[in-house]
Every structure is written in structure tokens, then in C-alpha cells.
Amino acid sequence: AIKQNAKQRTQRSSHERKSRTMFSRKRNVVDILESMGPNTSGTDAKNILVRVDFNVPMNDDLEITDDSRIRGALPTLQAILESSHNAVVMSHMGRPKLVQKGEDEGGKQRAKLTLSNVVDRLQTLAKAPVAFVNECQGDKVTSAVAGLDKKGGQILLLENLRFTKQEEKNDPDFAKGLAGLADAYINDAFGTCHRAHASVSGVPSFMDAKLCGVGKLVQSELNYLDFTQLGEKDVVAAIIGGSKVSTKLPVIKGLLNSVDTLVLGGGLAFTFIKAMGVNVGSSLLEESMIDTARELIEEAKKNGKKLVVPVDAVCSASFPSGPMDIKDTKTFDIAPGCDGIQDGWMGLDAGPKTVKVF
């Protein structure tokens, strides 16, 4: 069957192959720096607003356990600093709902999710001075930006954008305020590019399009997702996870047009499994997206694409608050035709059969 499928794929018309994802070239940080010109006088450094993703994992002692997201932003930041300009860096961290609601008793959540926790690591990795301001807008921020050295080479890190509700609401006044802090804008937060938040989609609308672009990390990801240069016999598979179908829908549709095999895991898979007529118990489920999932399944079949979902799941009677003992779990078969997950149980991980399938 595998050989037959491979043969069928190689027999696709060139028209079908050309339908694979191709991205038009985006303006990037190099283009922006060229547009502004070098700071040859050493007295005319520009301030470039850079949206990054510093949502790094930390332990209970607030020590960073994985700094790969910080490292991912370094090429863009270094390009700015080497051009003798300054980087005004902004990011989110976690979901500070208590801070947003004013219900953060004792400031515990703020202390855990403040971006001041990444300053030392960023300074070490960037090998450049990093200033921090514990706000993301207002007089204190304006003053900090105005105080950046006109010789360039400095980084100013703003406080967690999500400490204010306006960020996720894409509030135009909030976006305009951020845009007013700098001369240009770079988005290098690949993990949040799909979100209609103020720092992602709002800010560029208030700035000159010629001075807005993507960073080196985003550019590298876009290059990686350009499948048009693949050969006739090349087969592309993609794996996507996450909790909700609704937030990943454009990505799922795009990938189905571009890849040969799409593997769906994580919580969103249960919506597809439910659409196949299999019981998912109390697993994470988007009832409103079941019909959409069913349509995507049919679309994949129609276009000869292979859509792979879990065939069994490790389940628990409740969502665990910490590590679980394996004896407190059950594994249910969830392939089409099976009874699925018993009521009162929720799928929390891929089962052994799914691991083999994937």
C-alpha cells in the first residue's frame, strides 16, 4: 500500500505540484536596516521595535529551563545592534489573567510572569547592555526610550505585554502607543504571528509599511515552509498539535493544500475523532467545530491527502494537578468503529498504538 501510494503521488500533474505553498518575499530586518541607512555619525541611532517570543519555561525558583526562544531572536537583535541602532524589545509571557483583572493578591503572578526574569539571560546571550522598564506603555516607557544612546547598540526590554488587556484585544490606542515608541517595526515572534494582537497586527497599521518587516527567525520559518522547490518524488508530512481547532483552522487548511500527509495530535485531535463518530468522553472538545472537522476530513479524502489522527488515548478520570501513577489511567481505542473513550474519562496523551502509527 505504501508503494502504491508513493507511485500515485509521483504521478500527480505538475499543476498539482505547483499548488504547494509558495510565499511572496517579505520585507525583513535587513531590508529595514538598509532603508534607514547606517548610523555612520554615531549620533543618529534609530529605535527599532521588535516583537519577540520570550515566553520561556521557568522552574519554581524562576530560573529559565530552556532559553531556545531567546536564542532564536538573537540574529535579528544582533543585526540591529551591529548597525549601531537600538532594539526596543517587547514580548508576552504566560497568561496573566489575575494581573489583568487586578486580582493578583500579593503580586505572585506578576512576579512569576514579569519579563525582568529574562533580562540577565538576554544580556549574557546578546553580549550587549539590556535595560528593563516595568511598564509597556506610558511616561516611564517613553522616558526610557528617549534615554537610549544615540550611538546605538542598546536593548530596552518592555514589561509583559499581556499584563494589560489591551494587547490581546488589539486595542488601537494601545497599538498606536507602541508604534509611537520607535522608527521601525520587526516581527520575529513566529509563535504568535497568527494572533490578532496589538503588538502583532495593530502596530504595523500605524507605521510606514516600508519600515515594517519580519525578523530572521520568522524569515527562516517561511523559507522552510516554502515547498515549491521540492522534487516530483518528494513527499511532505506535517505534524500539528494544540488545544483548539478554531485557532489552528487557517493553518490546517493551508497545510492540507501543501502537504501529502497531515498528522493531528494534541487536544484538537478529539474534535476530529468525534467528527468520525467516535465517543471521546470528557476530553477537550470544540462542539462548534465538529462539522468543520468533518468537512476537512472529506476534503482530505477528495484531494488524496492522508489525514492521520490518534487511534488510542491514555486517559484519566480528571485533569491531573501533578504527576500521575500509571495505574490511575486507562487506555481506550478511539479508531473509527471502536466504542471510544468511556464517559467520565478524558484523553490526555497518545496511546502506544498511536505512537506506532505516528
Among candidates 109, 110, 116, 141, which has minimal Cα distance to 130?
116
Radius of gyration of the chain (CA): 24
The one-letter amino acid at 353? K
Query: CB neighbours of 356 closer than 8 A, spacing ≥ 6?
Result: none
Return the C-alpha torsion angle 225, 226, 230, 234, nearest 10: 30
> What is d(CA 248, CA 165) in angstroms, rounded to the nearest whole number?
22
Q: Which amino acid is at 130?
A: V
Instruction: Characterize 30-51 residue by residue with b for buried, 16 or more Cβ atoms within 10 angstroms of its Cβ, and e for exposed.
Output: ebbbeebeebeeeeebbbbbbb
Chain centroid to Cα 33, Å, comes to: 25
Which residues have a Cβ under 8 Å from the Cβ of 288 and sit 6 or more positions away? 246
Q: State how far the alpha carbon of 185 is from the alpha carbons of 27, 28, 89, 317, 354, in Å.
A: 11, 10, 10, 47, 43
pLDDT value of residue 12: 43
Q: Are strands 312-316 and 346-350 parallel, antiparallel or unpaired?
A: antiparallel
How far is 190 from 91, CA to CA, in rounded Å? 12
Q: Which three cell numbers stand for residue 117?
A: 526574569
CA–CA separation, 344 and 136 (whole Å): 44
Q: What is the pLDDT of residue 322?
A: 84
Is residue 116 exposed (0-12), middle (13-18) or buried (19+ Cβ within 10 Å)? middle
Q: What is the dihedral of CA 187, 190, 191, 196, to 10 degrees?
A: 50
Largest CA distance in the chain: 73
Q: Do residues 314 and 331 touch, judged by C-beta distance below 8 A?
A: yes
| pTM: predicted TM-score of the whole model, two decimal places | 0.76
Task: Give per-10-residue mean pLDDT for the chain (358 aa).
Answer: 43 46 77 90 94 95 95 97 96 95 93 97 96 96 96 97 96 97 97 92 96 96 83 89 86 88 94 96 94 94 94 94 90 96 95 96
Closest of 92, 85, 100 to residue 136, by C-alpha: 92
Identify which of 196, 139, 146, 191 has the alpha carbon closest to the alpha carbon of residue 167.
196
Q: Is 56 helix (H, G, I), strand (E, B) or coil?
A: coil
